[in-house]
Structure 1
Amino acid sequence: MTLDLGHGVSEYYHVDSFTSERFQGNPAGVILTRALPAEETMRRIAGELQLESAFAAPSGNADCDYAVAYYTGVTRIPLCGHDTIALGSVLAHKGELPEGGALRISTDVGVLELRHLAAGWIQMSQAKPWFGEIVDARGLADALEIDAEVLNGASPQVVSTGTPFLIASVKDRAALNALGEGTSRLAEYLAALPGSPVGLYCWALSDLAPETEAIRTRCFCPGAGLPEDPVTGSASGAFGAYLTARKLVEPGVISIWQGNINVRTGHVRVECDGESVRVSGQGTIIVRGEL
C-alpha cells in the first residue's frame, strides 16, 4: 500500500505488545516518518489499520529523540502504553535502542524515557500519578448492568499516569471473567465523570492474596472505539499507582496479566514508588511494510 503522507515513504509495523507470542497481547501500529503528518491524516491511518497507533518522527530537539503522537480511528489520546512498548520494540529491532540503552520521547503528557531491558523487555516511564474523585459503585454497577455486590463494596477512583482511567475492583476472577464488553451505557457513564476517564480498568480483589503470582485485570474503553482493550499499558501504570497509594501492595514490581482469557492476554510489569511509575513489556513484530 502506498500513501502520500507529505513526507515521503514511511515505515509501518504491526506489533503485538506485552507478549512474546504472536497473536497474543495487544496489537499496535507503529509508523516511523520524517515528520508527523496532519492530525486528520494520522486519525484516518489508525482507522484504516484498525489499530491504536503511534506515529513517531525525529524531534529535532536536544531534549528528546522522537516526537510521538497516538491515535485510534476515533480520536487522539494523550498516551498509549502498548503503542509505546511497540515503538520501543521496533526501535530495538532496528538497532536504534540497543539492550541496556535508553532514549527520550516527547508526548502530549511530557517527555518520557524508553529503556531496553534484558530479554527483549521494553520499559517506559509514565507521568506523575494524579488521583481524581472516588465515585459511587452503584452507578458503575448500573452502567455495567451487573449486581452491585459483584463490585464487592469497591470505591472506584479515576487515576491517571498520562491517560485517565476509572479503577474498580470486582470480588474475584470468576466475576472478572464474567464481565461483558463495554456497553453504550458504560460509555455515557464514563463521559459524565469528573476527570474524563477514557476507560474502565477492573481487577480481581481476591488476587491480593499472598500466594497469587499476578493480578488479573480487564479494560473497557467503549467511548474510544475499543469495547475491550486487550492489554493497556497506560491503565496498568495508573493501577500500579492506585494500589501503591492505598497501600494494598508494597512499593516495587507488580505483575499483571490482562485480557479476556478466551481471546487475548498479555503480561505487564509495573514499578511504582508513589512518585514515579514505570511500565515494562515485550513486543513481537508481526508485519512490516511501507506507507
Structure 2
Amino acid sequence: MKYYVVDAFSEQLFKGNPAGVCISDSFPDARLMQNIAMENNLSETAFLVPREQQGHFDLKWYTPELEIELCGHATIASAYVVHHHVDSSLKEISFHTLSGVLTISVHEPLYELDFPSRPPVYSNTTELLEEVLGSTPVETFMTVNDIGIRYYAVLENELQVRSFAPDFAKIKAIPGNFGLVLTAKGDKEDFVSRFFAPAAGVNEDPVTGSIHTTLIPYWTDKLGKSKLIARQVSKRGGVLYCEHKGERVKIGGHAIQYLEGELLVGPTP
C-alpha cells in the first residue's frame, strides 16, 4: 500500500500537522486500518480510494484510537497527495466522507477546504472545567457528535492559551469529552487556539482544521469580519486562512511532503 506523510498547514517541514495518507484500490478491513493508524501514531491517518469519476475519492480518517467523522489537516494532506502523485491536472478534488462530500480547491501551493459550518452551542462552565483550566473562562461553548463532546473555552488573551499547561488525565476525565479547545483573540492573527484530545489518543493536536468549523463562525461574530487568519499555537504551530460563508466555511492551508514509501501489510492477525 502506498503511504505518504505530509505536513499540513505549513510551508516548512516539521511544522504544521503531519498526517499519514494511504492509497489503495479499496478500503482495507476496519481493524487493519485502525492497526495501521495505531502503528503510524500520528494524530490522523487518512485512507484514500479513487472512484471511477475523475477527481472523486472515498476518504476515511483514523486516530490511533478510533475512526473520526471529520479531519481538516488529513484532508489537505490527501489533496496534496492526489495533486502530486495521482492527477496534477485536478483543480478541484471531491472527497466522499462520513461528513458528506468535501471539496478542496487547489491553488498551488495553497489548498482550500470547503467544510460544513458548525456554529457553537453555548454552555455554562463547570467546576471540573475550571479546575482543568485553573481559571474561569470568558465564555464556554461546545459541539456534539456521535464520538462525543468538544468543549471550547475562550480565554482572556493569547498568552493564556500559549502558557496553558495541560493535565491530560483531567482533560480525559471531563464527562462525554472528545476534546478541549482553548481560544483567544490573537496578538498578530485574528485568533489563536490549541486542541487537546487525549480520549482519542491525541494529547495535543498540532493544527486542527475541524475545530475551525466552529471557531470561524464564533470569531466572525465576535470580530465582525468574515475573512480571518488563525494560528494554532501548539509547539509545531500552523496558520489557517479562514472565511465564513454562511452554512459553509473555507479553510486554506499550505502543505509539504515529508515521506513517501510502502506499507508492508497483510491480512489482519
Q: Is the TM-score greater than 0.5? A: yes
Matches within 5 A, 1:30-45: 30-45=21-36
Q: Quick one: distance in 2 between partners of 1:271 and 1:218? A: 19
Cα deviation 1:179-218 (Å, max 9, x = unaligned): 12352221121x43xxxx521111124x3x7xx4342211
1:250 aligned to 202, 224, 240, which one? Answer: 224
**Which residue identity does 1:257 align to in structure 2?**
R
Q: Following TM superposition, by how much is the alpha carbon of 1:64 offset from its aligned partner in structure 2, in angstroms?
A: 7.2
Listed as ranges, the matches of 1:53-64 within 5 Å are: 53-60=45-52
* Paired position in structure 1 for 2:104: 114
1:200 pairs with 2:180: yes
The CA distance in 2 between the partners of 1:70 and 1:138, in whole Å, is: 33
Residue 61 of structure 2 is aligned to residue 76 of structure 1: no
Residue identity matched to 1:38:
D
Deviation at 1:165, TM superposition (A): 2.9
Instruction: Report the RMSD for the aligned CA atoms in angstroms.
Output: 2.3
SS at match of 1:48: helix
Superposed counterparts of 1:86-125, under 5 Å: 86-94=77-85, 96-98=87-89, 101-118=91-108, 120-125=109-114
1:155 and 2:146 correspond: no
- Mapped to 2, the partners of 1:128 and 1:26 lie a distance apart of 22
Cα deviation, residue 250, structure 1: 3.0
Q: What does the per-residue CA deviation read over 1:71-122, in whole Å, with 9 as the maximum and x for residues that have no partner?
A: 01110010111100111111121252547x102111111111111024x111
- 1:6 corresponds in structure 2 to none
1:238 to 214, 221, 236: 214
Is 1:25 matched with 2:9?
no
What letter corresponds to residue 242 of structure 1 in structure 2? Y
Deviation, 1:133, is 4.5
Superposition deviation, residue 130 in structure 1: 4.7
Question: Aligned pairs, how many?
Answer: 261
**CA deviations over 1:8-38 (Å, ceiling 9, x no partner):** xx21001111001000011110001110111
Q: Structure 1: which 5+ runs fail to align?
A: 1-9
TM-score by length of 2: 0.88
Sequence identity (%): 27
Residue by residue, what CA displacement relative to the aligned partner does 1:202-259 show, whole Å, maximum 9, x if unpaired?
1124x3x7xx434221111111111111100101222102223xx2123422111113
Gaps of 5+ in 2: 264-269
Asked if 1:175 corresponds to 2:165, the answer is no
- Any idea what the Cα deviations from partners look like across 1:254-285, whole Å, max 9, x if unmatched? 1111132xx31111111113321121111110
User: Aligned equivalents of 2:208 and 2:31: distance in 1?
Assistant: 24
Partner of 2:170: 185
Shift of the 214–133 alpha-carbon distance from structure 1 to 2, 3 Å rule, reads: closer
Contact 2:105-2:113 within 8 A present in 1 as well: yes
SS at match of 2:222: coil
Aligned equivalent of 2:267? none
Q: Deviations over 1:26-60 (max 9, x none)?
A: 11100011101111111100111111111010234
